[in-house]
């Protein structure tokens, strides 16, 4: 009986893996769309006002920690953390680099 349960658990995990990957891809696509929509001047960077719109859109889509940033009103703190070169704008590269940490 125990080997059967283990086999069923492994099979379930294997079937769930593609769904998790697809969800991750869908989430990444939605985040890219949110970035583009928030980037009002189409310069491929987010200033603080655009970043707030980006966070709010991601919070609505339940992406990453955006809900927590919005709930605590920590937009400035999150912006400062992500703005690696401190130029007052956040690029996609900076977002990706923060994700890797």
Q: Residues 6, 51: contact at Cβ < 8 Å?
A: no
CATH 3.30.70.100 assigned to domain 26-100? The reply is: no
Burial class (CB in 10 A: 0-12, 13-18, 19+), 67: middle
Q: Residues 45, 89: contact at Cβ < 8 Å?
A: yes
CA-based end-to-end distance of the chain: 43
Q: How far is residue 8's CA from residue 2's CA, in Å, rounded to a whole number? A: 10
Lowest mean pLDDT across 17-21, 63-67, 83-87: 17-21
Q: How far is residue 71's CA from residue 37's CA, in Å, rounded to a whole number? A: 21
Q: Is 13's pLDDT higher than 50?
A: no
21-70 per-position pLDDT tens digit: 446 899 999 999 999 999 999 999 999 999 999 999 999 999 999 999 99
pTM higher than the cut 0.95: no
Q: What is the pLDDT of residue 101?
A: 83
Q: What is the pLDDT of residue 8?
A: 38
């Amino acid at each position: 009986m125990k080997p059967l349960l283990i086999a069923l658990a492994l099979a379930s995990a294997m079937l769930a893996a593609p769904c998790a990957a697809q969800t991750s891809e869908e989430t990444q696509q939605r985040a890219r769309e949110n970035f583009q929509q928030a980037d009002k001047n189409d310069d491929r960077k987010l200033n603080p006002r655009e970043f707030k719109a980006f966070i709010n859109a991601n919070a609505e889509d339940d992406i990453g920690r955006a809900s927590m940033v919005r709930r605590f009103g920590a937009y400035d703190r999150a912006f400062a953390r992500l703005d690696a070169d401190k130029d007052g704008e956040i690029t996609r590269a900076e977002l990706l680099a923060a994700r890797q940490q």
